[in-house]
C-alpha cells in the first residue's frame, strides 16, 4: 500500500498530521532511532482515537511513546504506527488534593505544579524526565517514591478504540511494571491523589535533589537515564565502574565517565553501538561478580 493511500485512511479518521517514514531519533532523549512507517502526534483525544481506528482499518500494528526517555529505538526503526503523546496532549488541572494530567504532560512539570499548590507526594517525579503516560505505564520512580504510591486512576485507550478507567489496583503495579507492559493500551490521562504539604519545603528538597543529579549524572549529554536496574543490595553503576568499564566507547556511544549506569551519545551514536556496550557490560559484570544486570531501558524496533 502506497503512502498516499495510507495517509488518506488516517485523514478519513480525522488524523491530518500523520507522517510516513519519520525518523524517531529526533523524538528520543538519546537522539537515536530509525524511522516509523507512520508517525502521529495527536492533538486531541479524538485524534488519538482516530489514529488507533485508522491503524486497525489498515491492519497495522501500533505502538505508543511519550517523551522518548528510557527508550532505545533500534536503527531499523518501527514497523507500523508510532503514536507520540507529547506537548499537544498535556492539559493539567488541580482539584483539591488531586492532580489530573493528560498523558503527554511532562512528569516533572506535573510534579512542580503539585508543589506550587502545596501538595506533597509527587515530588519524586522531578527526577524523571518522561511523560505522565510513560511514567504510569512503567511505574516510574525516584528518590524512594513511585507512581503506584500516588496514582488513583488512569483512563486507558484499548486496541478496540474504547477508553476504560483503570484503578491503581487494576494496573497491578510492581517494580518498574504495570499491567500495560503486558497488555498494551494508551494512557490518555491520569489522576494522582496527594496530601497537604509545605510547598516551600518541598521546593527546597527538589532543589537539593537537582543539584546532586547535576553533580553525579551526565545531564548535558543525550542519554536515556539509568540503563540497568539496581540489583538487590548494590548499584548497577558501581558494578560497571568496578569492572573497569567507565568511559568505554563503541562508535559514538560511551559508558559515561560521570556515572557508569548511563550511556551517552557523543554525536552520531547508533543503537547497535549502545546495544554492544549494554551486552558487554552485562557479560563483564556477570563474569567478574556473578551478578545479572537487568535492563531498565526499553528496547524497541528492528535492527538496520
Task: Decide if 113 is inside a domain.
Answer: yes
Interhelix angle for 3-12 vs 45-58, to 10°?
130
Does 70 share its domain with 94?
Answer: no
Contact yes or no for 133/92 (Cβ under 8 A): no
Residue 143 confidence class, pLDDT cut points 50, 70, 90: confident
CATH assignment at residue 185: 3.30.465.10
What digits encode the pLDDT tens for the residues 186-217?
Answer: 999 999 999 999 999 999 999 999 898 889 89
Range of the domain at 48: 3-84
CATH assignment at residue 71: 3.30.43.10
Q: Say whether 11 is catalytic.
A: no
How many residues comprise the chain? Answer: 304
Task: Decide if 206 is inside a domain.
Answer: no
Query: Between the ranges 65-69, 173-177, 264-268, where is the mean pLDDT highest?
Result: 264-268
| Choice among 41, 69, 103, 226 that is catalytic | 226
| Choice among 11, 152, 257, 296 that is catalytic | 296
Segment 76-83 shows an average pLDDT of 96
CA distance 74 to 96: 43
What digits encode the pLDDT tens for the residues 25-45?
Answer: 999 999 999 999 999 999 999
Does 244 share its domain with 258?
Answer: yes
Does 186 share its domain with 127?
Answer: yes
Q: Which of 84, 104, 135 is the last residue of a domain?
A: 84
Domain count, the chain: 3
Q: Say whether 8 is catalytic.
A: no
Does 121 share its domain with 191?
Answer: yes
Task: Decide if 207 is inside a domain.
Answer: no
Q: Say whether 296 is catalytic.
A: yes
Does 106 share its domain with 192?
Answer: yes
Does 192 share its domain with 278?
Answer: no
Does 107 share its domain with 187?
Answer: yes
Checking if the pLDDT of 17 tops 80, the result is yes
pTM of this structure: 0.88
Instruction: Write the burial class of residue 34 (CB in 10 Å: 0-12 exposed, 13-18 middle, 19+ buried).
Output: buried
Task: Decide if 105 is inside a domain.
Answer: yes
Does 94 share its domain with 197?
Answer: yes
| Choice among 79, 98, 176, 229 that is catalytic | 176
Segment 77-102 shows an average pLDDT of 95
Does 75 share its domain with 169?
Answer: no
Does 32 share its domain with 112?
Answer: no
Amino acid at each position: 500500500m502506497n503512502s498516499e493511500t495510507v495517509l488518506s485512511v488516517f485523514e478519513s479518521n480525522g488524523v491530518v498530521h500523520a507522517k510516513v517514514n519519520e525518523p524517531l531519533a529526533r523524538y528520543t532523549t538519546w537522539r537515536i532511532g530509525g524511522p516509523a512507517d507512520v508517525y502521529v502526534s495527536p492533538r486531541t483525544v479524538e485524534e488519538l482515537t482516530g489514529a488507533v481506528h485508522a491503524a486497525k482499518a489498515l491492519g497495522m500494528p501500533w505502538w505508543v511513546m511519550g517523551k522518548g526517555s528510557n527508550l532505545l529505538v533500534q536503527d531499523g526503526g518501527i514497523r507500523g504506527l508510532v503514536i507520540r503523546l507529547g506537548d499537544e496532549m498535556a492539559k493539567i488541572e488541580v482539584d483539591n488534593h488531586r492532580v489530573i494530567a493528560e498523558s503527554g504532560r511532562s512528569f516533572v512539570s506535573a510534579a512542580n505544579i503539585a508543589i506550587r499548590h502545596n501538595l506533597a507526594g509527587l515530588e519524586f517525579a522531578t527526577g524523571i524526565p518522561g511523560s505522565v503516560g510513560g511514567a504510569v505505564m512503567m511505574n516510574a520512580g525516584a528518590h524512594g517514591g513511585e507512581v503506584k504510591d500516588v496514582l488513583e486512576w488512569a483512563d486507558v485507550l484499548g486496541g478496540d478504540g474504547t477508553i476504560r478507567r483503570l484503578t491503581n489496583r487494576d494496573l497491578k503495579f510492581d517494580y518498574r511494571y504495570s499491567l500495560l507492559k503486558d497488555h498494551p493500551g494508551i494512557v490518555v490521562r491520569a489522576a494522582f491523589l496527594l496530601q497537604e504539604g509545605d510547598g516551600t519545603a518541598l521546593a527546597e528538597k527538589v532543589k537539593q535533589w537537582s543539584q546532586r543529579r547535576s553533580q553525579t549524572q551526565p545531564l548535558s549529554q543525550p542519554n536515556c537515564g539509568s540503563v540497568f536496574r539496581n540489583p538487590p543490595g548494590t548499584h548497577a553503576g558501581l558494578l560497571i565502574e568496578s569492572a573497569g568499564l567507565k568511559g568505554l566507547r563503541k562508535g559514538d556511544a560511551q559508558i559515561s565517565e560521570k556515572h557508569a549506569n548511563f550511556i551517552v551519545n557523543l554525536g552520531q551514536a547508533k543503537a547497535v553501538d549502545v546495544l554492544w556496550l549494554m551486552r558487554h557490560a552485562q557479560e563483564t559484570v556477570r563474569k567478574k561478580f556473578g551478578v545479572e544486570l537487568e535492563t531498565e531501558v526499553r528496547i524497541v524496533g528492528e535492527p538496520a
